[in-house]
Chains A and B, each alone.
Chain A
Amino acid sequence: MKDTNKMNSQNACDRKEELVTYLYNEATAAERASFERHLGECEPCGAELKAFGRVREELNTWQVGFAPRTELVLPRGKMEVLRELIGLFPIWARGLAMAGVTAVLAALLLNIGNTVNQTPPGNNQQAAMSQQQIEALVKQAVAEERAKIQQETQAQFASFKAQLDTEHRAQLQAVSAEHRVKLETVRANLKQEIQKSSRQRGSIRSFFAMSEEQQDPWSDSR
Protein backbone atom coordinates (compact mmCIF):
# COMPACT_ATOMS: atom_id res chain seq x y z
CA MET A 1 0.00 0.00 0.00
CA LYS A 2 2.80 2.38 0.84
CA ASP A 3 4.33 1.59 -2.54
CA THR A 4 1.08 2.31 -4.26
CA ASN A 5 0.62 5.63 -2.50
CA LYS A 6 4.19 6.51 -3.26
CA MET A 7 3.63 5.59 -6.90
CA ASN A 8 0.44 7.66 -7.00
CA SER A 9 2.00 10.67 -5.40
CA GLN A 10 4.98 10.43 -7.70
CA ASN A 11 3.05 12.18 -10.44
CA ALA A 12 3.87 15.71 -9.49
CA CYS A 13 2.96 16.89 -12.95
CA ASP A 14 0.48 19.78 -12.86
CA ARG A 15 -1.44 18.65 -15.98
CA LYS A 16 -3.97 16.52 -14.05
CA GLU A 17 -7.01 18.26 -15.47
CA GLU A 18 -5.67 17.85 -18.99
CA LEU A 19 -5.08 14.18 -18.25
CA VAL A 20 -8.74 13.50 -17.31
CA THR A 21 -9.99 15.64 -20.22
CA TYR A 22 -7.86 13.52 -22.56
CA LEU A 23 -8.90 10.29 -20.81
CA TYR A 24 -12.61 11.02 -21.36
CA ASN A 25 -12.21 12.28 -24.93
CA GLU A 26 -13.35 15.80 -24.21
CA ALA A 27 -10.18 17.52 -25.37
CA THR A 28 -10.19 19.69 -28.50
CA ALA A 29 -7.88 18.70 -31.35
CA ALA A 30 -5.28 21.26 -30.22
CA GLU A 31 -5.47 20.17 -26.57
CA ARG A 32 -5.21 16.57 -27.65
CA ALA A 33 -2.11 17.19 -29.76
CA SER A 34 -0.51 19.21 -26.99
CA PHE A 35 -1.15 16.52 -24.36
CA GLU A 36 0.07 13.75 -26.65
CA ARG A 37 3.36 15.65 -27.05
CA HIS A 38 3.53 15.90 -23.26
CA LEU A 39 2.91 12.15 -22.90
CA GLY A 40 5.99 11.52 -25.01
CA GLU A 41 8.08 13.41 -22.48
CA CYS A 42 6.35 12.66 -19.14
CA GLU A 43 6.57 9.02 -18.06
CA PRO A 44 4.42 9.38 -14.85
CA CYS A 45 1.53 10.89 -16.85
CA GLY A 46 1.74 8.00 -19.34
CA ALA A 47 1.70 5.44 -16.53
CA GLU A 48 -1.19 7.19 -14.81
CA LEU A 49 -3.18 7.34 -18.03
CA LYS A 50 -2.78 3.58 -18.45
CA ALA A 51 -3.68 2.90 -14.81
CA PHE A 52 -6.80 5.09 -15.06
CA GLY A 53 -7.77 3.22 -18.22
CA ARG A 54 -7.67 -0.02 -16.22
CA VAL A 55 -9.73 1.55 -13.42
CA ARG A 56 -12.33 2.56 -15.99
CA GLU A 57 -12.42 -1.02 -17.29
CA GLU A 58 -13.00 -2.25 -13.75
CA LEU A 59 -15.68 0.36 -13.13
CA ASN A 60 -17.56 -0.87 -16.18
CA THR A 61 -17.88 -4.39 -14.79
CA TRP A 62 -20.62 -3.01 -12.51
CA GLN A 63 -23.65 -2.60 -14.72
CA VAL A 64 -27.17 -1.92 -13.54
CA GLY A 65 -29.28 -4.13 -15.77
CA PHE A 66 -32.77 -2.99 -14.90
CA ALA A 67 -34.61 -0.31 -13.02
CA PRO A 68 -37.72 -1.09 -10.97
CA ARG A 69 -40.84 0.71 -12.16
CA THR A 70 -41.43 3.84 -10.12
CA GLU A 71 -45.04 4.01 -8.98
CA LEU A 72 -46.01 7.53 -8.00
CA VAL A 73 -49.22 8.76 -6.48
CA LEU A 74 -49.12 12.33 -7.64
CA PRO A 75 -50.98 14.87 -5.54
CA ARG A 76 -53.69 16.56 -7.61
CA GLY A 77 -54.24 20.30 -7.53
CA LYS A 78 -57.20 21.63 -5.53
CA MET A 79 -58.75 23.19 -8.63
CA GLU A 80 -58.38 19.94 -10.57
CA VAL A 81 -60.13 17.98 -7.82
CA LEU A 82 -62.87 20.62 -7.57
CA ARG A 83 -63.41 20.58 -11.33
CA GLU A 84 -63.69 16.76 -11.32
CA LEU A 85 -66.12 16.87 -8.41
CA ILE A 86 -68.34 19.46 -10.09
CA GLY A 87 -68.27 17.43 -13.30
CA LEU A 88 -69.86 14.49 -11.45
CA PHE A 89 -73.11 16.39 -10.87
CA PRO A 90 -75.86 16.88 -13.52
CA ILE A 91 -76.36 20.33 -14.94
CA TRP A 92 -79.55 21.01 -12.96
CA ALA A 93 -77.75 20.23 -9.68
CA ARG A 94 -74.96 22.59 -10.64
CA GLY A 95 -77.58 25.24 -11.39
CA LEU A 96 -79.22 24.72 -8.02
CA ALA A 97 -75.86 24.96 -6.28
CA MET A 98 -75.10 28.15 -8.16
CA ALA A 99 -78.49 29.59 -7.16
CA GLY A 100 -77.79 28.59 -3.55
CA VAL A 101 -74.42 30.29 -3.57
CA THR A 102 -75.99 33.39 -5.11
CA ALA A 103 -78.69 33.41 -2.42
CA VAL A 104 -76.08 33.12 0.33
CA LEU A 105 -74.08 35.93 -1.23
CA ALA A 106 -77.23 38.02 -1.47
CA ALA A 107 -78.02 37.40 2.18
CA LEU A 108 -74.49 38.37 3.14
CA LEU A 109 -74.62 41.53 1.08
CA LEU A 110 -78.00 42.47 2.56
CA ASN A 111 -76.54 41.95 5.99
CA ILE A 112 -73.65 44.22 5.10
CA GLY A 113 -76.20 46.72 3.80
CA ASN A 114 -78.05 46.66 7.09
CA THR A 115 -74.81 47.18 8.95
CA VAL A 116 -74.04 50.14 6.70
CA ASN A 117 -77.51 51.52 7.51
CA GLN A 118 -76.60 51.60 11.16
CA THR A 119 -73.64 53.90 10.50
CA PRO A 120 -73.68 57.56 11.76
CA PRO A 121 -76.43 59.89 10.36
CA GLY A 122 -74.05 61.84 8.11
CA ASN A 123 -73.48 58.76 5.98
CA ASN A 124 -77.14 57.67 5.90
CA GLN A 125 -77.95 58.85 2.38
CA GLN A 126 -74.81 57.37 0.95
CA ALA A 127 -75.41 54.13 2.85
CA ALA A 128 -79.03 53.96 1.68
CA MET A 129 -77.97 54.44 -1.90
CA SER A 130 -75.35 51.80 -1.51
CA GLN A 131 -77.92 49.45 -0.11
CA GLN A 132 -80.32 50.16 -2.98
CA GLN A 133 -77.57 49.59 -5.45
CA ILE A 134 -76.56 46.39 -3.74
CA GLU A 135 -80.16 45.15 -3.65
CA ALA A 136 -80.62 46.00 -7.31
CA LEU A 137 -77.41 44.20 -8.21
CA VAL A 138 -78.38 41.15 -6.18
CA LYS A 139 -81.89 41.08 -7.69
CA GLN A 140 -80.43 41.37 -11.14
CA ALA A 141 -77.92 38.58 -10.47
CA VAL A 142 -80.62 36.30 -9.04
CA ALA A 143 -82.96 37.05 -11.96
CA GLU A 144 -80.23 36.39 -14.49
CA GLU A 145 -79.27 33.14 -12.79
CA ARG A 146 -82.92 32.04 -12.55
CA ALA A 147 -83.49 32.82 -16.25
CA LYS A 148 -80.37 30.94 -17.17
CA ILE A 149 -81.40 27.87 -15.16
CA GLN A 150 -84.92 28.03 -16.62
CA GLN A 151 -83.54 28.21 -20.13
CA GLU A 152 -81.21 25.31 -19.53
CA THR A 153 -83.96 23.20 -17.94
CA GLN A 154 -86.39 24.02 -20.75
CA ALA A 155 -83.79 23.13 -23.31
CA GLN A 156 -83.17 19.84 -21.53
CA PHE A 157 -86.91 19.08 -21.35
CA ALA A 158 -87.35 19.94 -25.01
CA SER A 159 -84.51 17.68 -25.93
CA PHE A 160 -85.91 14.82 -23.79
CA LYS A 161 -89.39 15.35 -25.28
CA ALA A 162 -88.09 15.31 -28.82
CA GLN A 163 -86.11 12.18 -28.09
CA LEU A 164 -89.11 10.45 -26.52
CA ASP A 165 -91.42 11.52 -29.38
CA THR A 166 -89.08 10.14 -31.97
CA GLU A 167 -88.72 6.87 -30.12
CA HIS A 168 -92.48 6.51 -29.55
CA ARG A 169 -93.34 7.33 -33.12
CA ALA A 170 -90.94 4.71 -34.39
CA GLN A 171 -92.33 2.12 -31.99
CA LEU A 172 -95.94 2.93 -32.95
CA GLN A 173 -95.15 2.67 -36.63
CA ALA A 174 -93.50 -0.70 -36.13
CA VAL A 175 -96.41 -2.04 -34.06
CA SER A 176 -99.14 -0.80 -36.46
CA ALA A 177 -97.28 -2.27 -39.45
CA GLU A 178 -97.13 -5.59 -37.65
CA HIS A 179 -100.86 -5.47 -36.84
CA ARG A 180 -101.71 -4.57 -40.39
CA VAL A 181 -99.87 -7.63 -41.68
CA LYS A 182 -101.63 -9.82 -39.13
CA LEU A 183 -105.06 -8.40 -40.08
CA GLU A 184 -104.40 -9.01 -43.77
CA THR A 185 -103.47 -12.62 -43.01
CA VAL A 186 -106.60 -13.13 -40.89
CA ARG A 187 -108.80 -11.55 -43.55
CA ALA A 188 -107.33 -13.78 -46.28
CA ASN A 189 -107.84 -16.87 -44.10
CA LEU A 190 -111.45 -15.90 -43.37
CA LYS A 191 -112.16 -15.36 -47.04
CA GLN A 192 -110.79 -18.79 -47.85
CA GLU A 193 -112.89 -20.33 -45.06
CA ILE A 194 -116.07 -18.59 -46.29
CA GLN A 195 -115.48 -19.75 -49.84
CA LYS A 196 -114.83 -23.28 -48.63
CA SER A 197 -117.95 -23.38 -46.43
CA SER A 198 -120.19 -21.92 -49.18
CA ARG A 199 -118.92 -24.59 -51.55
CA GLN A 200 -119.69 -27.24 -48.95
CA ARG A 201 -123.15 -25.74 -48.32
CA GLY A 202 -123.91 -25.84 -52.06
CA SER A 203 -122.98 -29.46 -52.38
CA ILE A 204 -125.01 -30.41 -49.26
CA ARG A 205 -128.03 -28.51 -50.61
CA SER A 206 -127.86 -30.27 -53.97
CA PHE A 207 -127.45 -33.61 -52.18
CA PHE A 208 -130.61 -33.07 -50.14
CA ALA A 209 -132.51 -31.88 -53.18
CA MET A 210 -131.67 -35.10 -54.98
CA SER A 211 -132.71 -37.23 -51.99
CA GLU A 212 -136.05 -35.49 -51.68
CA GLU A 213 -136.80 -36.17 -55.29
CA GLN A 214 -136.03 -39.86 -54.82
CA GLN A 215 -137.91 -40.28 -51.49
CA ASP A 216 -141.24 -38.50 -52.43
CA PRO A 217 -142.34 -39.47 -55.86
CA TRP A 218 -145.84 -38.14 -55.13
CA SER A 219 -144.97 -34.69 -54.19
CA ASP A 220 -146.77 -31.69 -55.74
CA SER A 221 -143.82 -30.81 -57.82
CA ARG A 222 -144.25 -33.79 -59.85
Chain B
Amino acid sequence: MEITDDQIIERTLAGDTDAFSLLVRRWERPIYALSLRMLGRDEDARDVCQETFLAAFRNLRKFRGDAKFSSWLYRIALNACHTKLRKNSGAAEQSIDQEDDEGRKFELADDGAEFMPDRLHRDQRATAVRRALQALPAEMRQVIVMKEYEELTFAEIAEILNVPVSTVKSRLYTGLQQMRARLEKMRSAL
Protein backbone atom coordinates (compact mmCIF):
# COMPACT_ATOMS: atom_id res chain seq x y z
CA MET B 1 0.00 0.00 0.00
CA GLU B 2 1.32 3.42 -0.95
CA ILE B 3 2.38 5.68 1.89
CA THR B 4 -0.06 8.59 2.35
CA ASP B 5 0.82 12.29 2.33
CA ASP B 6 -0.04 12.53 6.02
CA GLN B 7 2.31 9.66 6.88
CA ILE B 8 5.15 11.32 4.95
CA ILE B 9 4.47 14.58 6.78
CA GLU B 10 4.61 12.77 10.13
CA ARG B 11 7.97 11.22 9.21
CA THR B 12 9.34 14.57 8.06
CA LEU B 13 8.23 16.29 11.24
CA ALA B 14 9.84 13.51 13.26
CA GLY B 15 13.19 14.52 11.76
CA ASP B 16 13.40 12.37 8.61
CA THR B 17 14.09 15.23 6.19
CA ASP B 18 14.65 12.85 3.28
CA ALA B 19 11.03 11.68 3.50
CA PHE B 20 9.92 15.07 2.21
CA SER B 21 11.45 14.31 -1.18
CA LEU B 22 8.69 11.68 -1.61
CA LEU B 23 6.14 14.49 -1.42
CA VAL B 24 8.15 16.53 -3.90
CA ARG B 25 8.27 13.64 -6.40
CA ARG B 26 4.54 13.04 -5.95
CA TRP B 27 3.36 16.63 -6.41
CA GLU B 28 5.97 18.32 -8.60
CA ARG B 29 4.16 17.57 -11.87
CA PRO B 30 0.78 19.11 -10.93
CA ILE B 31 2.45 22.07 -9.22
CA TYR B 32 4.70 22.70 -12.22
CA ALA B 33 1.77 22.36 -14.66
CA LEU B 34 -0.38 24.74 -12.60
CA SER B 35 2.45 27.29 -12.41
CA LEU B 36 3.25 27.02 -16.10
CA ARG B 37 -0.39 27.62 -17.05
CA MET B 38 -0.67 30.49 -14.64
CA LEU B 39 2.59 32.18 -15.67
CA GLY B 40 3.15 30.99 -19.23
CA ARG B 41 6.94 30.71 -18.86
CA ASP B 42 8.86 27.55 -18.10
CA GLU B 43 11.56 29.39 -16.15
CA ASP B 44 9.02 31.12 -13.90
CA ALA B 45 7.12 27.87 -13.39
CA ARG B 46 10.31 26.13 -12.26
CA ASP B 47 11.04 28.95 -9.80
CA VAL B 48 7.54 28.81 -8.38
CA CYS B 49 7.72 25.03 -8.11
CA GLN B 50 10.90 25.26 -6.07
CA GLU B 51 9.61 28.12 -3.91
CA THR B 52 6.40 26.20 -3.24
CA PHE B 53 8.11 23.09 -1.93
CA LEU B 54 10.61 25.08 0.13
CA ALA B 55 7.80 27.12 1.69
CA ALA B 56 5.83 23.93 2.35
CA PHE B 57 8.83 22.37 4.07
CA ARG B 58 9.50 25.42 6.20
CA ASN B 59 5.87 25.73 7.27
CA LEU B 60 5.05 22.05 7.57
CA ARG B 61 4.39 22.39 11.30
CA LYS B 62 1.67 24.94 10.51
CA PHE B 63 -0.16 22.39 8.33
CA ARG B 64 -2.83 21.15 10.71
CA GLY B 65 -4.34 18.52 8.45
CA ASP B 66 -7.81 20.13 8.40
CA ALA B 67 -7.56 20.35 4.61
CA LYS B 68 -5.88 17.99 2.18
CA PHE B 69 -2.13 18.45 1.85
CA SER B 70 -2.56 18.96 -1.92
CA SER B 71 -5.03 21.83 -1.34
CA TRP B 72 -2.55 23.49 1.01
CA LEU B 73 0.24 23.01 -1.54
CA TYR B 74 -1.89 24.43 -4.39
CA ARG B 75 -2.65 27.46 -2.23
CA ILE B 76 1.07 28.07 -1.62
CA ALA B 77 1.79 27.66 -5.32
CA LEU B 78 -0.98 30.08 -6.33
CA ASN B 79 0.29 32.66 -3.85
CA ALA B 80 3.79 32.29 -5.32
CA CYS B 81 2.30 32.67 -8.83
CA HIS B 82 0.51 35.88 -7.83
CA THR B 83 3.72 37.28 -6.33
CA LYS B 84 5.53 36.42 -9.56
CA LEU B 85 2.77 37.99 -11.65
CA ARG B 86 2.95 41.19 -9.63
CA LYS B 87 6.72 41.31 -10.12
CA ASN B 88 6.39 40.72 -13.85
CA SER B 89 3.27 42.90 -14.16
CA GLY B 90 2.72 44.03 -17.69
CA ALA B 91 4.90 41.35 -19.18
CA ALA B 92 2.71 38.45 -18.10
CA GLU B 93 -0.64 39.73 -19.34
CA GLN B 94 0.05 40.23 -22.99
CA SER B 95 -2.48 41.12 -25.60
CA ILE B 96 -3.43 38.44 -28.04
CA ASP B 97 -2.74 40.90 -30.85
CA GLN B 98 0.89 41.31 -29.85
CA GLU B 99 3.79 39.81 -31.68
CA ASP B 100 5.64 36.97 -29.99
CA ASP B 101 9.17 37.05 -28.55
CA GLU B 102 10.77 36.51 -31.95
CA GLY B 103 8.68 39.28 -33.49
CA ARG B 104 6.38 36.96 -35.41
CA LYS B 105 2.77 38.00 -35.74
CA PHE B 106 0.49 35.54 -34.02
CA GLU B 107 -1.61 33.40 -36.34
CA LEU B 108 -4.26 30.85 -35.65
CA ALA B 109 -4.79 27.93 -37.99
CA ASP B 110 -8.05 27.75 -39.88
CA ASP B 111 -10.10 24.72 -38.90
CA GLY B 112 -10.54 23.87 -42.55
CA ALA B 113 -6.81 23.78 -43.29
CA GLU B 114 -6.65 20.11 -44.18
CA PHE B 115 -3.23 20.35 -45.77
CA MET B 116 -1.58 21.30 -42.50
CA PRO B 117 0.01 18.41 -40.61
CA ASP B 118 -2.03 17.50 -37.53
CA ARG B 119 0.82 18.11 -35.09
CA LEU B 120 1.48 21.63 -36.36
CA HIS B 121 -2.22 22.36 -36.32
CA ARG B 122 -2.54 21.17 -32.76
CA ASP B 123 0.52 23.18 -31.68
CA GLN B 124 -0.96 26.33 -33.15
CA ARG B 125 -4.24 25.76 -31.39
CA ALA B 126 -2.35 25.18 -28.13
CA THR B 127 -0.44 28.44 -28.66
CA ALA B 128 -3.74 30.25 -29.19
CA VAL B 129 -5.13 28.77 -25.98
CA ARG B 130 -2.00 29.68 -24.05
CA ARG B 131 -2.20 33.26 -25.22
CA ALA B 132 -5.93 33.57 -24.59
CA LEU B 133 -5.49 32.12 -21.12
CA GLN B 134 -2.60 34.45 -20.32
CA ALA B 135 -4.77 37.41 -21.29
CA LEU B 136 -7.46 36.48 -18.74
CA PRO B 137 -7.50 38.11 -15.31
CA ALA B 138 -5.57 35.90 -12.86
CA GLU B 139 -8.61 35.12 -10.69
CA MET B 140 -10.44 33.58 -13.65
CA ARG B 141 -7.36 31.94 -15.08
CA GLN B 142 -6.61 30.08 -11.86
CA VAL B 143 -10.12 28.70 -11.65
CA ILE B 144 -10.03 27.48 -15.25
CA VAL B 145 -6.60 25.91 -14.75
CA MET B 146 -7.61 24.10 -11.57
CA LYS B 147 -10.92 22.89 -12.96
CA GLU B 148 -9.97 22.05 -16.52
CA TYR B 149 -6.41 20.78 -16.16
CA GLU B 150 -6.00 19.70 -12.55
CA GLU B 151 -9.56 18.33 -12.52
CA LEU B 152 -10.28 19.53 -8.99
CA THR B 153 -13.87 19.67 -7.77
CA PHE B 154 -15.64 22.98 -7.18
CA ALA B 155 -15.46 22.32 -3.43
CA GLU B 156 -11.70 21.72 -3.57
CA ILE B 157 -11.10 24.91 -5.56
CA ALA B 158 -13.28 26.85 -3.12
CA GLU B 159 -11.21 25.47 -0.24
CA ILE B 160 -7.91 26.38 -1.90
CA LEU B 161 -9.03 29.91 -2.73
CA ASN B 162 -10.97 30.30 0.50
CA VAL B 163 -14.08 31.55 -1.32
CA PRO B 164 -17.63 30.15 -1.59
CA VAL B 165 -18.36 27.47 -4.21
CA SER B 166 -20.78 29.88 -5.91
CA THR B 167 -17.91 32.35 -6.44
CA VAL B 168 -15.82 29.61 -8.04
CA LYS B 169 -18.66 28.74 -10.42
CA SER B 170 -19.30 32.34 -11.25
CA ARG B 171 -15.60 33.00 -12.00
CA LEU B 172 -15.43 29.86 -14.12
CA TYR B 173 -18.50 30.89 -16.10
CA THR B 174 -17.11 34.37 -16.76
CA GLY B 175 -13.66 32.95 -17.56
CA LEU B 176 -15.09 30.51 -20.11
CA GLN B 177 -17.11 33.30 -21.68
CA GLN B 178 -14.00 35.44 -22.05
CA MET B 179 -11.98 32.52 -23.43
CA ARG B 180 -14.71 31.91 -25.98
CA ALA B 181 -14.68 35.55 -27.01
CA ARG B 182 -10.90 35.71 -27.31
CA LEU B 183 -10.63 32.49 -29.29
CA GLU B 184 -13.37 33.68 -31.65
CA LYS B 185 -11.62 36.98 -32.05
CA MET B 186 -8.43 35.17 -33.07
CA ARG B 187 -10.33 33.19 -35.69
CA SER B 188 -12.03 36.25 -37.11
CA ALA B 189 -8.63 38.04 -37.30
CA LEU B 190 -7.48 35.51 -39.91
Contacts and interface: CB of A to CB of B under 8 A. Distances in A.
B126 A61 contact: yes
B183 A70 contact: no
B129 to A, nearest CB: 5
B169 interface: yes
B36 interface: yes
A1 B188 contact: yes
Given A4-B181, A60-B148, A62-B126, A16 B169 contact: yes
Interface string A9-33: 0000000110111001010000000
Given A64-B32, A80-B17, A75 B50 contact: no
A74 B23 CA distance: 13
B179 interface: yes
B58 A52 contact: no
A55 B183 contact: yes
Contacts, number: 103
Contact of A68 (B20, B46, B58, B170): B46
Contact of A74 (B29, B36, B46, B57): B57
Interface of B: 15, 17, 20-21, 24, 28-29, 32-33, 36-37, 42, 46, 49-50, 53-54, 57-58, 122, 125-126, 128-130, 133, 144, 147-149, 153-154, 166, 169-170, 172-173, 176-177, 179-181, 183-185, 188
Contact of A16 (B28, B33, B170): B170
Given A68-B46, A72-B24, A8 B177 contact: yes
Given A20-B169, A67-B32, A80-B15, A26 B153 contact: yes
B128 A58 contact: yes
B181 A8 contact: yes
B180 A8 contact: yes
Max count, chain B CB within 10 A of own CB: residue among A59, A63, A69, A76: A59
A67 B172 contact: no
Interface of B is mostly: helix
B183 A67 contact: no
A20 B174 CA distance: 10
Contacts of B20: 72, 74
Contacts of B183: 55, 58
A77 interface: yes
Contacts of B54: 72, 74
A51 interface: yes
10 contacts: A1-B185, A5-B181, A16-B173, A20-B176, A52-B176, A59-B129, A59-B133, A62-B130, A64-B36, A70-B49
Nearest to A51: B180
A191 interface: no
Contact of B180 (A17, A52, A68, A75): A52
Given A64-B33, A74-B57, A59 B21 contact: no
B4 to A, nearest CB: 20
B169 A21 contact: yes
